Structure 1
Amino acid sequence: MRLFTIITRQLSRNRLYIFINLMGLSVAIAIGLLVYSFVVKEVQTDEFHRNGENIYRILGKEKSDDTYSSEHCGLLAPSVLRQISGIEDFVRIWPQSMEIKTEGMADFNAVETCFHADSAFFSVFTFPLVHGVFSQNLPFRWAVISERAAQKYFKDTDPVGQNVYVRSDMWFPKPIPYQVVAVMRNIPAWSTLQTDIVLDYRYTEQFTDWNNNFLSLTYVQLSPKNSVQTIEEDIKKFYAVVQPETEYQFKLQSLGSVYYHGENVEYSSDYKAPQGSLFLTRLLVGITLLIFFLSSCNYVMIKVVQSQHNLRMFAIQRCYGADNKSVWIHFLVETTVYFVLSGIIGICLARWLFPAFQEVITPGFHYPFPFSVASVFCFIGILCVFIVFISVSLSYYFLNRLNTGGIKESVDKKVSVFDLRKVLAFVSVAIFSLLFVTATIVNRQIGFLKNKDLGYSVENVLSVSGSNEVIKATLSGNPDILSVTSGSTPLPMEEPSFLKLTCQFDNGLMPEKAEIISGDADYLSTYRIQLLEGKNFDPATDPQNTGVIPLLVNQQFVRKSGLKQAVGTLFRGRTFDDEPFSNFKIIGIVKDFYAHPLYKEIDPLVISYSKGSYSHGFMNNDITTICYMPLKKTEVLQFLHENNLTCYYVYDYARLYGKEEAFMRLINIVAVIAIFIGGLGIFAFSVFFVASRKKEVALRKINGGTEWAIQRQLNRDFVVLTLWACLFSIPLGYYLISSWLEKFACRIELNWYFFILVALCCLTFVCLVVTWQIRKIVTLNPVECLKEL
């Protein structure tokens, strides 16, 4: 009780230091809670399935491909189940965006991502039912909806036994009824399978054949202790029998690795499983520990600043028989009190900031705050580690001074050669300088990506599904549409997979294959791609009649091929090794443009002429792209809707670089927090520094020193400390962020003056924090200062 009384008195006498400590620790704990909630969600993803360790996703690719496909022909799963031992069950999932309507709704006014799945969906995966009964081999088309969907579409009525109607402009233009047989619990946020409506797969099965209609995600449940490699080989052998013309490789990916190791997996449908990032998770944990360390340094620094008073108190207690144990207990209790008070404030702050944090770290995807006994005790355990670490550090520091110098030396005001306060101030400045330079580099790189000239324009451009002369004629008849083109979009997805054209010239093969896309005579004008030399496609020319396919090539193609006069060159080429060579002719050279996200350099590329149903070597050719007049977007969208044309945008920056944007927002927030906490520490140190130099300042003024000269002299210590901290932290920050920068083929150049500017910004911040305190003492009457001392 007496110890609490002493601590309470100390707290009441040092309100400024208490405020700084509580603010720093509270913000650190709040950030720790937010990051902890995210990390818990990440590590628990797909861990709740009872059979999770035996569930695998089938991935496949052709031998020449670099990435695996996650979707396969619907006939694959039931066929391999009959042919291969070791597979207990399978689930096919065909995810599609569907318009939804119930019997009580007047029209289809809602769109949901529905899963057409096999009936084994609820036995292989653990998605419990809360209402209704589900059984396999039902004689009608069934549907299972989530609690969320039940409330949304049926309100307070019982959905079981009622029908939901679905339709899709592309697949099911006529409404199809499905009878709701059960309601499942909402799928948790920590699942890579996310839907609110599961529909009977059997209806889509009638359209499925080995020509890969209705590509489906395929999961299998293996028998325990079966060899995964053996089953992979068996699937490969079976596929070689049914599709002998294709050399296909298969891989079984465990369910637990889908979330963190799906970066090299392609999806044919619009649905893409949630993708985690080990880099981001580790970064968050590291940043949180760094912020905890920064706030802990502030706390230790303030306690060291108050060391003279504490040393006297401990020295007096030792005179009355106190031992080292009393010092340990004192700091343990005091630190615990600070962390408990900060924890209460931090919890309230975390709950308040939780929605905003979700928008930053996982925009558009929300997850509940994980509150369980295990998670609470785990977080408390982490805090206890910091409490013990800080208590031990402070106790060691004070006991070392007390035991080394003795009681008399401890009571005397004397600054040791090794000033721990300056070391901790150096650490604070170094940490926020480190985060400041990394945040600056990340912001510059993201800004560079946004403003980079791609070599084509997507302003007032959008695409529609389907590509034929009827669609093109319909669109061309609208006066608000300037041009219409059929062919590949320049940047269609996160990681486009173009066909590769082997080029054979008179002097031999081109050392590097060229990517090939398709376009018609309006392709260049629609995307505003610059033609540098030669001519554009002639709409009157028919390649099938001439036997020579006209090509437009980019500048990189000319460089790699070594052609001195490219326009007019004839050569032979093919996209597959087992097909005959075709004749090509280069009719023009276009300016280089980025057909991949900016993670990759520009490759040699050719644009093959596409006319009507004819196209040689294309990707995503089943689309039509339009360029419309400025300020006519609303009218054009209304026209497309009236003609039942589904539109989408060509260049979706958020989709391509969404993770980088989240990373930038995260770094910015962390940098602001680090600057705030570090600023509090520097402010606390400057308060002590100024108070300890009052006598010096008074004597300097009495001896004729000017206010400017004295202020410059006192600022010099902080300037030197900041410059040393920047000299250490700025190169370290560049080294740490360089691995992130290296994944971009197009990245910013960092010159020496950039780092000088960053150091000046850090120096300006520190000077602004400390100059205020120094100015207060410099303007005081020296006589009054000496009287106080």
Structure 2
Amino acid sequence: MLRNYIKIAFRNLLKNKVFTSINIFGLAIGIASCLIIMLFVQDELSFDRFNEKADQIVRVVFRGKMNGEFIKEASTMAPTAQTLKNDYPEVLAATRIRSYGSPKVIVNEKVFASASFAYVDANFFQVFTLPFVKGDVKTALIEPNTILITQAIANKYFGNEDPVGKTLNLKDKNQLFKITGVIADLPVNSHFHFDLFGSMETLPEAKLPTWLASNYHTYLVLQKDYDYKKLEAKLPQVIDKYMGPLIKQGMGVSLSEFRKKGNDVGLFLQPLLDIHLKSDFSNSSSLEPSGDIRYVYIFGAIALFMLLIACINFMNLSTAGASKRAKEVGIRKVLGSVKAELITQFLLESIILTFVALVLALLLVKISLPSFNNLSGKALDFDFTNNPLIIIGILSFGLLVSVLAGSYPAFFLSSFKPISVLKGTVIPNRRGISFRSGLVVFQFIISVSLILSTTIVYQQLSYIQSKKLGYDKEQLVVLRNAYLLGNNEAILKTQLEKDPRVASVTASAFLPAGPTDTNMSGVYPDEKMEQNRRAIIYQIDTQYIPTMGMQIVLGRNFSKGLTTDSSNVIINETMAKTLGWGKKAVGHIINRFTDNNGGTKSYTIIGVVKDFHFKSLHEEIAPLMMVLEESHGLIIKVKTKDIAGLLATMKTEWQKFNSDEPFTYAFVDELFNKSYLSEQKTGTILSIFAGLTIFIACLGLFGLATFTAEQRTKEIGVRKVLGASVGQLIALLSKDFLKLVLVACVIAFPLGYLAMSLWLQDFVYRINISWWIFVFAGAGAIAIALLTVSYQAIKAALMNPVKSLKTE
């Protein structure tokens, strides 16, 4: 019996080659897209799960509000780890990591390019599961000036030699470290990646008892199955005990008075598995840029919808071809076939077709995954051949899709009445029409929502590109590594200033886009210490503001001829507004904390610079002050179209200093664009999958149009005989589908608006969702529907009425 079912199934599938091909192709695209997206989602959800104690580890973070400023720091103070370990028995272990940049490394007098470096406590590798290749995990970092390196770095620096016992010289820090071990390369799905791990015992500041500087990422290992919220509820005691006296000393008010004014500071706990997807800290505060759980939800939903739409297509295309199977069903029923046998037959056809589509989908995944990895910045792999569980999962997935996609057509086809179908007529009931129409509406709700979402994403990205930033990002070349030239940096600056292709040059390591030095200090206005708050500090020279194309709105810029300007300061408009001075800021005093012992330096305000965006447009412009202090790295304003020639000259001048450092440069506009690379990639991925979703939806619409045209063949013939034109017949067949699309638009518009309003809330500076976007999305959906339906409508309208009227 089964053999007979299979033989009939293949005959029917081969007999209807067009429908079979469309079914397989549409289902394959849906399954392949779903699998790729689920690989992406699974990778995002896998971060830090490789750690054996992942469910016990929490990160300590610092949050607060002070004089209207919201404080969100992923790092905490140096004593936090040991204090919590000592004071709370539920803390089994505490460890810290202190990021320290990317210094050059000298090995046997050979200089290697920058390697990312961090100081860690001796027990760090007992908390995190990072396997040792060589060395003892318990003793490797106990002594100062000891260091661990990754396997990749060991191969790069020493080849096949054993690196343990050898010495590394961190050139930028002029420190020697003894290699005491080699660890395996860090997994890609870790929330931090470093090449070198130095002993925290080397760092004097790590032992300071100060609670005013937060530079250490602190992690705790809690008891198994312990609710971290219980410990978090106790942490205000730590603030009261250790930070309360400092607030009293620095601001002249008690902690309770500080809180009564609407201020507060505190330590909070974040589970390790939440760090990658559920962090809201700035990139400067985090060890690495994090992901976003919302994108996991968005792409997960798209994967589900694509699979559903592919299954809906299967249903529509199967029912569209039902009239061709009507007599077969009638004859088989007359000859004694029961409904269960017919359902089995049609489900078997569904299984065969689905598994053919599944094989094609796996091939599509294999082919397209490298391109997706390149686009998303991932390293996803889909090697299922060596994993029996994945094979079982794929087979189960295929069976589920078969039943999901084939169940309705099987029950629909097997329910035909023999008397009707033997006459060659399938009489559709209203319930069946309503169901199929509902499926089309559902498809176009998703399609219109995706058109709407993609349009808004690109509108926001376009807004970011065109928004006035308060500085001129064009024609700016950055030589961040110029400090490596030492005293020759000033000589290079002078030489570049003489070049007629250069408008101006400034020496500063502070940039409003891309990699930049960061400096933040506590400040307070005039004598009002109780108004203490934090501010970003830019160390600049007299040429910085004109080179960057910034605008002084009050007062003046720094002047080369005035030595007193070292005690003066320029602030931004936000700082003037925050401190209550507005347009009367010039002449006031700002006091800046210079150390952790309460030391301050006073500055007189000589100018106010127009607000410029020195952070992402996700964040508001913060208070900023510019001081006339030495900083290294060159920023060159160019006034020539011969950029390549100027860069060649710069490289030649650089090489004249016989530096072993390579000449590297960057353009500020490119650095700015990279700041929104995540959004750009998301927009591109969304566009691709939106296009595929719409394409698959159109296949379903094509199927329903075919079904409708076949059911109305005789009606069309009668209308043609009575004088109906081709245009009238096309309109007749198309209007029902346009109604479905319009219904879908009515439902999709509010859903899309709500979803994108939530997405835009992540940007402080964002577009308003205009009415024309909805018109565009609706018109696009209608145009797509018309193009899809028109082929079948025109074909039916042009059919010879004599043949149509002969149809029985």
Shorter-normalised TM range = 0.7 to 0.9
The corresponding residue for 1:627 is 637
Structure 1 residue 661: Cα displacement? 1.6
Q: How many residues align?
A: 757
The corresponding residue for 1:189 is 188
Distance, in Å, in 1 between the alignment partners of 2:320 and 2:478 is: 63
1:483 is the counterpart of 2:505: yes
Structure 1 residue 723: Cα displacement? 3.0
Quickly say closer, same or farther: Cα 1:181–1:720, change in 2 above 3 A.
closer
Distance, in Å, in 2 between the alignment partners of 1:324 and 1:230 is: 64
1:522 is the counterpart of 2:538: no
Quickly say closer, same or farther: Cα 1:152–1:688, change in 2 above 3 A.
farther
Distance, in Å, in 1 between the alignment partners of 2:730 and 2:326 is: 31
CA RMSD in angstroms comes to 4.5
1:658 is the counterpart of 2:677: yes
Deviations 1:373-420 (A, max 9, x none): 445545554554443333443455456x55xxx543465432333414
**Could you say what secondary structure the match of 2:219 adopts?**
strand
The corresponding residue for 1:408 is 419
The corresponding residue for 2:281 is 264
8 Å Cα contact 1:495-1:597 kept in structure 2? no
**Could you say what secondary structure the match of 1:159 adopts?**
coil
1:97 is the counterpart of 2:102: yes
Distance, in Å, in 2 between the alignment partners of 1:79 and 1:570 is: 44
Structure 1 residue 749: Cα displacement? 3.4
Instruction: Choose 372-381 or 285-294, whichever is displaced more.
Output: 372-381
Pick one of 692, 697, 705 that aligns with 1:686.
705
8 Å Cα contact 2:346-2:406 kept in structure 1? yes
Please tell me the residue identity of whatever aligns with 1:261.
Answer: K
8 Å Cα contact 2:50-2:129 kept in structure 1? yes
Instruction: Choose 412-421 or 75-84, whichever is displaced more.
Output: 75-84
The corresponding residue for 2:199 is 201
**Could you say what secondary structure the match of 1:112 adopts?**
coil
8 Å Cα contact 1:461-1:649 kept in structure 2? yes
Distance, in Å, in 1 between the alignment partners of 2:609 and 2:565 is: 24
Normalised by the size of structure 1, how large is the TM-score? 0.81
Please tell me the residue identity of whatever aligns with 2:131.
Answer: P
Distance, in Å, in 2 between the alignment partners of 1:121 and 1:7 is: 62
Please tell me the residue identity of whatever aligns with 2:470.
Answer: G
Q: Which runs of 5+ in 2 are unaligned?
A: 256-264
The corresponding residue for 1:431 is 446
Distance, in Å, in 1 between the alignment partners of 2:306 and 2:571 is: 54
The corresponding residue for 2:116 is 113
Structure 1 residue 745: Cα displacement? 3.0
Map 1:555-570 → 2, pairs under 5 A: 566=583, 570=587
Distance, in Å, in 1 between the alignment partners of 2:675 and 2:56 is: 33
Structure 1 residue 219: Cα displacement? 3.1
Pick one of 156, 162, 176 that aligns with 1:159.
162
The corresponding residue for 1:616 is none
Distance, in Å, in 1 between the alignment partners of 2:487 and 2:113 is: 31
Instruction: Choose 279-288 or 464-473, whichever is displaced more.
Output: 464-473
Distance, in Å, in 2 between the alignment partners of 1:249 and 1:347 is: 50
Pick one of 610, 628, 640 that aligns with 1:611.
628
Quickly say closer, same or farther: Cα 1:567–1:543, change in 2 above 3 A.
farther
**Could you say what secondary structure the match of 1:253 adopts?**
strand
Deviations 1:43-88 (A, max 9, x none): 2322232222333333346763634434456676567656765544
Structure 1 residue 295: Cα displacement? 0.6
The corresponding residue for 2:259 is none
8 Å Cα contact 1:486-1:625 kept in structure 2? yes
The corresponding residue for 1:18 is 20
Structure 1 residue 23: Cα displacement? 0.9
Pick one of 462, 466, 473 that aligns with 2:478.
462
8 Å Cα contact 1:35-1:284 kept in structure 2? yes
Quickly say closer, same or farther: Cα 1:465–1:560, change in 2 above 3 A.
same
Map 1:235-634 → 2, pairs under 5 A: 236=239, 240=243, 249-264=266-281, 267=284, 272-273=287-288, 275-310=290-325, 312-361=327-376, 363=377, 365-369=378-382, 371=384, 372-378=387-393, 380-398=395-413, 401-402=415-416, 406-409=417-420, 412-418=425-431, 419=433, 420-459=435-474, 460-462=476-478, 464=480, 475-478=493-496, 479-480=498-499, 481=502, 482-484=504-506, 486=508, 489-490=511-512, 520-532=541-553, 535-543=556-564, 549=568, 551=570, 554=573, 566=583, 570-571=587-588, 587=607, 590-601=609-620, 607-608=625-626, 610-612=627-629, 625-630=635-640, 631=643, 632-634=646-648
Normalised by the size of structure 2, how large is the TM-score? 0.80
Quickly say closer, same or farther: Cα 1:594–1:93, change in 2 above 3 A.
closer
Distance, in Å, in 2 between the alignment partners of 1:89 and 1:396 is: 61
Distance, in Å, in 2 between the alignment partners of 1:555 and 1:601 is: 10
1:66 is the counterpart of 2:70: yes
Distance, in Å, in 2 between the alignment partners of 1:521 and 1:441 is: 41
**Could you say what secondary structure the match of 1:773 adopts?**
helix
**Could you say what secondary structure the match of 1:49 adopts?**
coil
The corresponding residue for 1:618 is none
Quickly say closer, same or farther: Cα 1:504–1:307, change in 2 above 3 A.
farther
1:217 is the counterpart of 2:217: yes
Q: Which runs of 5+ in 1 are unaligned?
A: 614-620
Please tell me the residue identity of whatever aligns with 2:192.
Answer: L
Quickly say closer, same or farther: Cα 1:494–1:13, change in 2 above 3 A.
farther
Distance, in Å, in 2 between the alignment partners of 1:332 and 1:696 is: 33
Distance, in Å, in 1 between the alignment partners of 2:578 and 2:279 is: 35
Distance, in Å, in 2 between the alignment partners of 1:486 and 1:435 is: 44
Structure 1 residue 512: Cα displacement? 12
8 Å Cα contact 2:329-2:421 kept in structure 1? no
Distance, in Å, in 2 between the alignment partners of 1:780 and 1:241 is: 88
Distance, in Å, in 1 between the alignment partners of 2:63 and 2:430 is: 67
Distance, in Å, in 2 between the alignment partners of 1:345 and 1:164 is: 54
8 Å Cα contact 2:557-2:570 kept in structure 1? no
Quickly say closer, same or farther: Cα 1:237–1:266, change in 2 above 3 A.
farther
Please tell me the residue identity of whatever aligns with 2:694.
Answer: I
